[in-house]
Amino acid sequence: MQFKPAFIFGLIVFLIATPTAFRYLQFTITSGENETKQLKITSYNCMLFDLYNWRKNHETRPKIMNGLFDINTDIICLQEFYTSEEKGDFNNADSIKLLLKTPYYHKEYTTTLRKYDHWGIATFSKYPIIKKGKIVFNTTANNICIYSDIVVGKDTLRVYNVHLQSVSFSKKDNQFLDDVISQNTNAADEMSNSKNILRRLKNAFLKRTMQVDMIVLHMKLCPYKIVLCGDFNETAASYSYQQLSKKLNDAFVEKGLGFGRTYAGKWPKFRIDYILHDKRLNVSKFKRSDETYTDHYPITAYFSNINW
């Protein structure tokens, strides 16, 4: 209040950080437009529909499906997608098509075992997909980007569905981060564990940088309006977000509410899933689902100026 040096310094830092801060926190009031005249696009890391929760996946999978049914979206981009063609197993592809009434789909697999168990990424649509393609990252991890040209009314949208490199924190890493916050560590443990975490972060940052550069180059050649959905595994202050959002708007920043946290696990406790879109598209509403049975929350953007 007396304009002391500490106050002035703090004020300057606050003002510099404000644009980035609003990528994390929004207070938007959405309009009450008729949702039936809008296009709904959802992005969701479905965590293989809880496949590896062996004791309870027969319970959680229907809950995940019911949650998607309640959203009743027009186009859904699913990361960490799993489906099986084995009789009696989880044929999630057929389930999604029937449940959401999305007869058009684009699936790409990064791993296939026993010829009929598939891991990868998928986009399902109520509207015709006239072209499909993929951007292969040449990595051993299950990360990939696909794009689908979808005819909606008189418009054609290119919907990118991406899953960028994860940091892959182990249980030990998560426990260490909890211990640091609760100040329950010693100097030797802090040094050793900190180096391990920094090494993981560095490797993931470098891989994501290459993946993002490939996507940005591909988008420059796109003739259609773009909607980019996916799990970036990055916060809104990252290189990945900055590059991918350079010529696109962020649906959350336009119409989000609150902190918009999309990761339900321990770290990071921020928004790492995004729906970015062409500046010519208008978002009237953005919603994060309140419940999830995976480690991510579904997010949905409502587009109101589609040329029907």
In order of 71, 196, 219, 236, 264, the CA distances from 289 in angstroms are 8, 34, 28, 19, 11
pLDDT at 99 over 90: yes
Which of 6-20, 202-216, 244-258 is the least confident region?
A: 6-20
What percent of the chain is helix, strand and coil (3-state, nearest 5)? 35, 30, 35
pLDDT tier for residue 34 given thresholds of 50, 70 and 90: low
Average pLDDT of 184-210?
Answer: 82
Instruction: Give the least confident one: 106-110, 151-155, 182-186, 212-216.
Output: 182-186
- CATH topology for 37-171+203-303 is Deoxyribonuclease I; Chain A (3.60.10)
Band of pLDDT at residue 52, cut at 50, 70 and 90: very high
Q: Which pLDDT band holds residue 269 (cuts at 50, 70, 90)?
A: confident
pTM for the whole structure = 0.88
Give me the mean pLDDT over the 14-36 stretch.
70
**Percent of the chain whose predicted confidence (pLDDT) is above 70:** 88
The residue-averaged pLDDT of 57-81 equals 96
Domain borders along the chain are: 37-171+203-303
Lowest mean pLDDT among 24-38, 72-86, 240-254: 24-38
Q: Residue 119 pLDDT more than 70?
A: yes
pLDDT in tens, 151-174: 999 999 999 999 999 887 766 766
Going by C-alpha positions, the residue among 37, 110, 102, 48 that lies closest to residue 76 is 102
pLDDT-based confidence at residue 24 (cuts at 50, 70, 90): confident
Pick from 59-63, 88-92, 158-162, 199-203: least confident: 199-203
Instruction: Reply yes or no on whether the pLDDT at 93 is more than 60.
Output: yes
Rounded mean pLDDT, 204-223:
96
High-pLDDT (> 90) share of the chain, %: 67
Region 51-69: mean pLDDT is: 94
User: In whole numbers, what is the pLDDT of the chain averaged over residues?
Assistant: 89
